[in-house]
Structure 1
Amino acid sequence: MIVIFGSINMDLVARVQRIARPGETVLSRRADSFFGGKGANQAVAAARVSHGGPLRVAMVGAIGNDPFGKACLKNLEENGVDVGAIRMTDEPTGCAFITVDETGENAITVASGANMALRAADLPKNLLTAATVLVLQMEVSIADSLEVAARARRAGVKVVWNFAPVPAVKERSAVAELLAVTDVLVVNEHEALAIADMVGEPSGDDYLKAGSAISQSFGPTCIVTAGSRGAYAITPDSARTHATARPITPVDTTGAGDTFVGVLANGLAEGLEIGRAMERACAAASLSCLTAGAQAGMPERKSLEQHLTQA
């Protein structure tokens, strides 16, 4: 099974000609609402590609007792995600404010709300088995995420940690503690460089050197996603595996990284070797960019398999 411990948000999206600079106002014709939150996005991505397969996907998160929270809960259920471990709180449901420019690039501000009320105790013990893949991100309490990861490792669970968004934590010991309980670390180029700098392994602008240093020093397999260049997995012995990205003209890149993580978790839970799991994840991430919104373009299992066969 796949367990996602993380954030649940409502995304408010405005399309602009270009993303505003500090102090600047830009106009958009309208704002649209979409379901989001890195945790919820990854749960939906995993559930869609797991549909028709043997795996169950469960979400552990927190929402507010408000219309956004109720809508988010319903959306997860409709996508086949087990929502039994989602807790309703007095805090407002998390909300993300997203601007997307005409090239498909985005800028995001997140109001965490109920996400910061999520606690390690909210994860039921029966969800942690040797057959579980646990997925974490950086949009909920780091301390509670660390506690969950440590519990999972003791139970023989594979821990996948998406180091996004990069937190304000600068102490090497805190980052080292996170990496020590991680089996597979997923980062983009900028996040790889940020972690390397945090742990005293500055790598200039060489994200593969950064990924290699992280993996060698702390032990996890480090997967660096690099947009149109695909993704690279680097193991502690410096072995590299590359998965290519499908050429596309993006409509909206919001949620592409989360699609990659959710589909990767599915592949690992199904026992695929890392290269094959990354290939599927790259293809799914590319497909997700063809539709506006973080979750709208996430592919179902059948469409992903057809796309891979055609490619």
Structure 2
Amino acid sequence: MIVIFGSINMDLVARVQRIARPGETVLSRRADSFFGGKGSNQAVAAARVSHGGRMRVAMAGAVGNDPFGMACLKNLEENGIDVSAIRVTDEPTGCAFITVDEAGENAITVASGANMALRSADLPDSLLSKAAVLVLQMEVPIAENLEVAARARRAGVKVVWNFAPVPPIKERSAMAELLAVTDVLVVNEHEALAVADIAGTPAGEDYLKAGSAISSSFGSICIVTAGSRGAYAIAPDGTQAHATARPIVPVDTTGAGDTFVGVLANGIAEGLEVGRAMERACAAASLSCLTAGAQAGMPKRQVLDQHLSQA
């Protein structure tokens, strides 16, 4: 089983010619709503590539007692995800406000809402004990993430931590505490540089140097995603693996990183070595960019396997 502990949002998306600069207003013809939240996205990505549901996916999260919350719960259930550990709260369901430009790039503002009410206790030991992999992100309280990760490590569950968005951590001791309970850290280029700075091993603009410093300093595998350049896995001994990204013309890159994490977690749970799991995750992330919305383009297993066989 894969367990995701994290955020659930409704995404409100507007397509624009270009993303607004500070103090500027740009017009869009319409706004569309999509299911989102990094936790929810990663859960859906993992569930869609499970072998006909044979690799179960469960989610622990929090939503509001409002139409967005009920719709998000229904969506997760329809994707075959166990929602027994999702709590309905008095806080409003989280919302993300997303603008997407003509090149498919995006800018995102998140109103956390119920996500900040999520607690470690919402994930029962009876569910966590069945997991092969626990997936975390940074859109819920850090202290709760840390507690759940520590519980997972004690139970022998592998912890995959997507360090996004970068939280306001400034002390190396706090970063060390986080990485001490992490088996695989997933960051993009900018996040890798931020983690390296916090950890006291600044790498300038060299994200691979940053990933190597993080991995060697803290003993976890660091995976750096680099958009069209693919992804790099760096082990504590300095060994590197690279997975290429498939050439595409993106429609919407929203959710590509979450697709990568969810499919990576599925591969690790199935027993693939990290390099192979990363290859599959890169291919899935590329496919996800071909459709608007964070979850709409996330591929199912048959589509992904066919794409990999043709590549």
Question: Does the pair score TM above 0.5?
Answer: yes
Residue 127 (structure 1) shift: 1.9
Counterpart of 2:260, as a letter, is F
Q: Which residue of structure 2 aligns with residue 67 of structure 1?
A: 67
Alpha-carbon shift at residue 51 of structure 1 (Å): 4.2
2:298 paired with 1:301:
no
Contact 1:211 1:224 in 2 (8 A): yes
Q: Any residues of structure 2 matched to 1:75-114 within 5 Å, and which?
A: 75-114=75-114
Instruction: Describe the SS at the equivalent of 2:296.
Output: coil
Give 1:54 shift. 2.5
The match for 2:257 is 257
Q: Does structure 2 retain, via aligned residues, the 8 Å contact 1:252–1:289?
A: yes
- 2:289 is matched with 289
| Deviation at residue 128 of structure 1 after TM alignment | 2.2
Distance 2:121 2:70 in 1: 22
The whole-number CA distance in structure 1 between the counterparts of 2:204 and 2:118 is 36
After TM superposition, list the pairs within 5 Å mapping 1:7-22 onto structure 2.
7-22=7-22
After superposition, residues 101-250 of structure 1 pair within 5 angstroms as 101-129=101-129, 131-250=131-250
Partner secondary structure for residue 237 of structure 1: coil
* In structure 2, distance between residues paired with 1:232 and 1:13: 30
Letter in 1 for 2:236: P
Q: Secondary structure at the match of 2:223?
A: strand
Question: In structure 2, how many angstroms separate the alpha carbons of the residues matched to 1:27 and 1:129?
Answer: 49
Shift of 1:132: 1.8
Q: Secondary structure at the match of 2:49?
A: helix
Unpaired runs of 5+ in structure 1? none
**Distance (Å, rounded) in 2 between the aligned partners of 1:222 and 1:127:** 27
Question: Which whole-Å deviations, capped at 9, do the CAs of 1:224-281 have from their partners, x for residues lacking one?
Answer: 0000110000000000000011000000000000000000000000000111100100
Q: Does the Cα contact within 8 Å between 1:130 and 1:155 map onto a contact in 2? A: no
Aligned twin of 1:280: 280
Rounded to whole Å, the distance in 1 between the matches of 2:127 and 2:261 is 19
Contact 2:47–2:53 (Cα < 8 Å) also in 1: no
- Aligned-partner residue type, residue 33 of structure 2: S
| 1:179 to partner: Cα distance | 0.6
> Partners in 2 of 1:139 and 1:203 — Cα distance?
26
Instruction: Name the SS of the counterpart of 1:29 in structure 2.
Output: coil
Q: Taking structure 2 as the reference length, what is the TM-score of the superposition?
A: 0.99
Q: Deviations over 1:20-40 (max 9, x none)?
A: 000000000000000000000
Cα displacement string for residues 24-71 of structure 1 (whole angstroms, at most 9, x for unaligned residues): 000000000000000000000000001415210000000000000000
The 3-state SS of whatever aligns with 1:74 is helix
What letter is aligned with 1:309? S
CA-based RMSD of the aligned residues comes to 0.8
> TM-score normalized by structure 1?
0.99
Distance 1:242 1:201 in 2: 23
Q: Which amino acid aligns with 1:79?
A: N
Deviation at 1:130, TM superposition (A): 7.0
Q: Distance in 1 between matches of 2:140 and 2:70?
A: 19
Alpha-carbon deviation of 1:113? 0.2
Letter in 2 for 1:228: S
Matched residues in 2 for 1:128 and 1:24: separation? 46
- 8 Å CA contact 1:130–1:156 kept in 2: the answer is no
**2:39 match: secondary structure:** helix
CA distance in 1, matches of 2:201, 2:27: 42
Compute the displacement of 1:129 (Å): 2.9
Q: Give the count of matched residue pairs.
A: 311
1:183, 1:250 → 2: CA distance?
Answer: 31
Please say if 1:25 is aligned against 2:48.
no
1:58 aligns with 2:54: no
